Amino acid sequence: MSAGSEERVGFFTDTSVCIGCKACEVACKEWNAIPEDGLSLSGMSYDNTQALGASTWRHVAFIEQPRPEGRTELPLTEPASANGPRHGDGGPAGDMRWLMSSDVCKHCTHAACLDVCPTGSLFRTEFGTVVVQEDICNGCGYCVPACPYGVIEQRPDDGRAFKCTLCYDRLGAGQEPACAKACPTESIRFGPLDELRERAALRVDQLHKEGVTEARLYGHDPDNGVGGDGAFFLLLDRPEVYGLPPDPVVTTRDLPTMWKHAGAAALSLLGGLALSFALPGRGRR
Amino acid sequence: MGVSDRFREWPVYRQLKGEDRLGRGSAAKSRHTERLRPRTDTADHVTQSICPYCAVGCGQQVYVKDDKVVQIEGDPASPVSRGRLCPKGSATLQLTTGPARRHQVLHRAPHGSDWEPLDLETAMDMVADRVIATRRDTWEWERDGVRTARTMGIASLGGATLDNEENYLIKKLLTGLGVVQVENQARVCHSSTVAGLGTSFGRGGATTFMQDLQHSDCIVIQGSNYAEAHPVGFQWVMEAKARGAYIIHVDPRYTRTSALADLHVPIRAGSDIAFLGGIINHVLTEEKDFREYVLHYTNAATLVSEDFRDTEDLDGVFSGLDEEKGHYDPHSWQYEGVQVQQPTGEADEQYEDRVHAAGGAEAHGSGGARTAPRAPADPTLRHPRCVYQVLKRHFARYTPELVEDVCGVPRDTFLRVCAALTANSGRERTSSFAYAVGWTQHSVGSQYIRAASILQLLLGNIGRPGGGIQALRGHASIQGSSDIPTLFNLLPGYLPMPHAHKHLDLDTFVGTTRTEKGFWASMRAYFVSLLKAYYGDAATEDNDFCFDHLPRLTGSHSTYETVMAQLDGTCKGYFLMGENPAVGSANTRLQRLGMAGLDWLVVRDFSLIESATWWQDGPEIESGELRTEDIGTEVFFFPAAAHTEKSGSFTNTNRWVQWHHAAVEPEGDARSDLWFTYHLGRRIKEKLAGSTDPMDRAILDLSWEYPVDGPLAEPVADAVLAEINGHGPDGRPLTAYTELKDDGSTRCGCWIYCGVYADGVNQAARKKPGSQQDWVAAEWAWAWPANRRILYNRASAAPDGTPWSERKAYLWWDADAGRWDGHDVPDFIPDRAPDFVPDDNATGPQALRGDDPFIMQADGKGWLYAPAGLEDGPMPTHYEPQDSPFTNALYPATPRSPTRQVLSREGNRYHPSGDEPGAGVYPYIVTTHRLTEHFTAGGMSRWSPYLSELQPEFFCEVSPQLAAERGLEPDGWATIVTARNAIEARVLVTERIRPLTVQGRTVHQIGLPFHWGPNGVSTGDAANELVAIVLDPNAHIQEDKALTADIRPGRRPRGPDLPRLVAEYRRRAGITDTTGTETRA
């Protein structure tokens, strides 16, 4: 493992080509020897995984959208070709939509989990990713409420916190993460983050030209509340529809201000205390 | 380590002295983290293999460390998969190394209550003894006065998950033993594909390969859930889409495929012939056919016999129907002036009946049906009896209004599909069809495929890049288990098994099969070479090359007839090899009751599947219908080796033969099916050695010498592949099937695979990366025939040999070189000029014209009209499914296919349909389907925790309207009932399945995934409990894609209350033993 930093890498997940197959979930579990974590029918469409957690590091969400009122209206457009309109053009054959998206740890630029970890278990790798060192983690659980996405979690029978490592061990050998390798339609793309951001911008433009005006990027912006995600997405609707927070903020963002205010308050208190002893008061001899 | 080293490693020290001042990066790294290496890097070696799940045939890399498999992931070198894997392929590590796998032989004594472990060698001996004894007890020299030389007491099922080499030995051994009841998943899956494509084009496999879909301008996915059943193959649809192709998905349900399609068309399950017929009618009426292609490459101009009568003339049937027997005499369907040779001069009615019962259409898997090479024709296409006009008349009433009425598809949507297809066909553009069992698994399944074939011929899409018909098969080597068939009616290379007949010698047999023109004319050479491969030196000119050693057919001996024979007590012994009929076949209750009548059962699999444990804890034990102690079946369970533990070849859905290398030895008593079959055969031959009983002559003559290797004495799979490829008189491997002779000097186990071992090199094991080749990737693996990837590719060029357009150039005539050139191996005679006209008396390949792209067809043309080959008609006709809520709107007098195979018996009763009294007792349509996360009958997915947690329970999909109508609770339970059985499922209410308006009223459809059974990590009832056995007469494939049922809230009854409920429903519906069995209304 080189001591110097490598180029920052990450994921661009283009949900517009996701077929909801969950190869990513299985490839991840096989590679990382993650245990099965729940054999119950959720009733949430085809999503029986339900959420990211200590033993689910890739989670495919399914959102059925049967009627136009359930989502933003698509404007009717000119046909892109002689074939006819695309992507939900109205009429009984066209008003159904099924969104599918593979969620993952965002490997935030400003990672709250990393900020609050007291043991140094969580650290920033030379690839710009955030990884938990299972031999260090003491199971304090501070990272769990810190994550604005609700990704990291403790394993019940173990106590330690677990999450996606962006296949840190594979990266070190020049191999891509297991989920990206498996994905049949390359919905999950792995690579240098700035290249991915360029590709994503082009893809959104292309979709807009094709009349898919709802297509948008999520987590790509370095000016957002977490400084931009190492794993960002192309969505076809608002993030809340996918169960993603619309405006995530690194929970430690206000810490400096809070410390300043706390410091100021403490000084004021001390000052006031000193003053109360320094000034002569009534009833003193 | 020294103190100072320890100090320097201290994170605080590293933080202060190094670059990571905040201690959030490299300073915080532990020693363990520092030393992390992926096991893909530390492995001892990595082996290239092929995924054992579906028929896409993705490449896999198998990493081995200390003789154990430690990782399996995609092989980036594969041009098919590009390193990707679906969830099942990704779960292969858990499949092959997880705790669900068994490694010990188990034995259940007759009437025993539990398994006992058994030593492997003892078990093999016991099985050999059972085979010999049962064979002796049930041996039959003749039936009804004709020689059969066989045993009907033993049967075998399974093969689609096995290697080609294994299927070859299984069929060879069992045929040598006189066993005809040899079947596998291909029967219940795509047998109708072989019949439908074979009679249309001369070969019964997918006409193109998945990677070529990227060149399509329009893709229609129908009768298939491509993204869910073949996810990695679906990447090629996405490539086409990225290039602007229009993707249409026609399906009763809105699935994950629909989510990525540009247009989803909800359709009533069971009405696709009406839909496709509507498009055919549209193309003919609007004259949108690709006229030049149609004129030169199809039989559009050929004249049909004046005795022919269409369904329009006879109220829903063709001429020649024997209503009582339920089959057609097809003589009146022939071309004008054609008389087809019969086995003997006299008519032999019994023989005819038996041949009709067996259906011969799958024998056109590589060699078309028989007719004259040249018949009278009208190139102006105006003669009333030319095929073009006959076709037009036949489909004239398949209007958009009819499609709306029968299929429930609004006419605007239907016309949009027509517009997309016609706009994207012709010189400059091509469209393709991708289909699977949503089309094949019907009582008219072969005709579904015929309908798509007709349409693609009219549009001029066959043999062209981005065109063709992509038959999506389902198992790793199910194409292989059809080509090198563990099927009752076929020998390797789609050569037919002979029927019992008084005067059938080799020459007569060949005479009734071969055609005059093209490569099927050399059928005798292929057949004799096979007999030499089977019987070696014992096969000589004098004894007709041991032709009489082959057991004879006397009708259909498909897996479903075998189940009936088990119920009737005539079939005593059964092998199940990687197949699970207690979940995967129609009418699973009868499958289990059949097995309860056996003397012995041998199950080979990874885990204790339902077909191995039904005697102990199956549904009939639960209901009390059977008691364990009363069941006398002796059961053997042999743990099977995984694909990582053996070398061999799989043939994927595109006819690509791909080799997988063994990475490790199997553990414990697990053995490959190659090992099992070879050593079983060896033992049987040893035990029978020296016998003078004429019954044993054939098995003793069977050549059974194969080299073995390694500590387990595993047969060398390469040697078996070499036998399949064939050898010349000097013992050298052959290169092409044109080298085969009919004088006994050549041997060849499967003529269409001749060339797979050319030059003594295993061509199937070629692994030149796809990234180093063009999209055809001719140096990866080997495709049959002759490594041709797109079949009929002569049709990608115009009659004059130039490409139809630059954009769609694939094969073209190089006049200077005097040869065909292009991106693929020509599916044509390499130096046959496009304008070549043969002499009048030419035969065989010499009789092929320069514009005959369909070189296996009797007349060299694609068949819009099939004058021979199919039992149920020369053209597809809409009929209702066996169980249907509707009358036949087109032909009320003929509601269902008059030649469908009905097998009404207790436990397999049919429903009243349409207007018949009692039809309302089962008012809803049920269609079975797949999910991405599971695999077929569950043996390879329901024991896997990683797959089971993705889809943990059996559920039904219903619309909100149906849920309201029947009071079904979302996420609650429902019970679904037919005349066969009742099952329970969790309720998934979704708008992805919609009520349709058909024939003026609303009809609801219910979706049932068929993967579940009571065993494994994820358990549930089997959807196939509900399905009746009613079969397509050509292929004997069941109808499980459209049936009727009732659904009600709550869990199903347990114990004897379950059969009581089912019986009560039958009473209410007034079901008798004749319900639904009529030929006409």
**Rounded mean pLDDT of B500-515?**
89
* Identity of residue A42: S
pLDDT one-digit tens code per residue, B770-821: 999 999 999 999 999 999 999 999 999 999 999 999 999 999 999 999 999 9
Report the chain A residue with the minimal C-alpha distance to residue B264.
A93
What pLDDT is stored for residue A87 in this prediction? 43
Residue (of B148, B149, B155) closest to B174 by Cα position:
B155
CB contact under 8 A, B992 and A135: no
CA distances from B903 to A273, B442, B766, B921, B1073 (A): 99, 15, 47, 22, 10
Q: Report the distance separating Cα B467 and Cα B217, nearest Å.
A: 9
pLDDT tops 70 at residue B443:
yes
Average pLDDT, chain B: 96
Interchain contact, A21 vs B932, CB within 8 Å: yes
**DSSP E strands, B578-647:** 600-605, 634-639
ipTM of the complex: 0.96
A23: which chain B residues are within 8 Å (Cβ-Cβ)? Answer: 84-87, 89-90, 231
Distance of alpha carbon B875 from alpha carbon B873, whole angstroms = 5
> Is residue B272 over pLDDT 90?
yes
User: Which amino acid type is present at position B875?
Assistant: M
Task: Say whether pLDDT at B692 is over 80.
Answer: yes
A75 vs B: CB within 8 A: no
Average pLDDT over residues B1075-1079: 94
Give the pLDDT confidence of B89-129 residue by residue, as tens digits: 999 999 999 999 999 999 999 999 999 999 999 999 999 99
Nearest to A66 among B953, B991, B1018 (CB): B991
3-class secondary structure, B50: strand
Tell which A residues from 157 to 196 touch B, by Cβ distance under 8 Å.
167-170, 172-173, 175, 178, 181-186
- Residue-level pLDDT at B354: 84
Kindly list the residues from chain A whose CB atom is less than 8 angstroms away from the CB atom of residue B85.
23, 27, 182, 184
**How many angstroms separate the CA atoms of B740 and B734, rounded?**
8
Kindly state the average pLDDT of the residues B629-647: 98
The tens place of each residue's pLDDT in chain A, 285 residues long, gives: 344 567 999 999 999 999 999 999 999 999 999 999 999 999 999 999 999 999 999 999 999 998 665 444 333 333 334 444 444 333 344 579 999 999 999 999 999 999 999 999 999 999 999 999 999 999 999 999 999 999 999 999 999 999 999 999 999 999 999 999 999 999 999 999 999 999 999 999 999 999 999 999 999 999 999 999 999 999 999 999 999 999 999 999 999 999 999 999 999 999 999 999 988 876 655
Can you tell me the mean pLDDT for B325-347?
Answer: 80
Report phi then psi at B271, rounded to 5: -120, 20
CA distance B8 to B729: 76
| Residue keyed to tokens 């490592």 | A165
Single out the residue of B672, B648, B645, B655 nearest to residue B765, CA to CA: B648
Tell me the Ramachandran region of residue B548: left when phi exceeds 0, alpha when psi lies from -120 to 50, beta otherwise. Answer: alpha
Q: A181 and B34 in contact by Cβ < 8 A?
A: no
Residue B462 to residue B861: CA distance in whole angstroms: 11
Q: Where are the beta strands (DSSP E) in B357-485?
A: 431-435, 469-471
Residue in B38, B87, B244 nearest the CB of A23 = B87
Is the CB of A123 less than 8 angstroms away from the CB of B24? yes
Name the minimum distance, in Å, from the CA of B235 to any CA of chain A: 5
CA atoms within 13 A on the CB side of A233: 23
CA angle centred on B709, ends B478 and B93, rounded to 5°: 50
Q: Give the pLDDT confidence score for residue B371 in this predicted structure.
A: 87
B590 has pLDDT over 60: yes
pLDDT of residue B339: 78
Per DSSP, which regions of B399-444 are E strands? 431-435
A45 touches chain B (CB under 8 A): yes
Q: Is B284 helix (H, G, I), strand (E, B) or coil?
A: helix
CA distances from B424 to B64, B758, B795 (A): 48, 40, 17
* B575 within 8 A of B567, measured Cβ to Cβ: no
- Residue B355: which pLDDT band, with cuts at 50, 70 and 90? confident
**B1018: nearest CA in chain A?**
A39
Q: What is the sign, positive or negative, of the torsion defined by CA atoms of B959, B961, B966, B967? A: positive
* B341 — pLDDT class (breaks 50, 70, 90): low
Residues 82-121 of A with CB under 8 A from B: 82-84, 86-87, 91-94, 96-100, 114, 120-121
- Residues with Cβ < 8 Å from A131, sequence gap 6 or more? A122, A123, A125, A165, A166, A168, B33
Nearest to B410 among A38, A92, A120 (CB): A92
Closest CA to B963 of B945, B986, B946: B986
pLDDT score recorded for residue A94: 54
How near does any CA of chain A get to the CA of B371, in Å? 40
pLDDT at B362 over 50: yes
Residue type, B333: W
Measured distance CA(B546)–CA(B540) in Å, rounded: 7
- CA of B879, closest CA in chain A: separation in Å? 25
pLDDT given for residue B901 in this prediction: 96
The mean-pLDDT minimum among A233-242, A272-281, B482-491, B955-964 falls in A272-281
Q: Is the pLDDT of residue B41 over 90?
A: yes
Q: What is the DSSP string of A188-247?
A: EEEEEHHHHHHHHHHHHHHHHHTT-TT-EEES--TTSTTS-BSEEEEESS-GGGGT--SS
Give the number of other Cβ atoms within 10 Å of residue B37's Cβ: 12
Q: How confident is the model at residue B822 (pLDDT cuts 50, 70, 90)?
A: very high
**pLDDT greater at residue B8 or residue B580:** B580
What integer is the mean pLDDT of B967-974? Answer: 98
What is the rounded (10 degree) CA torsion for B214, B447, B437, B405? 90
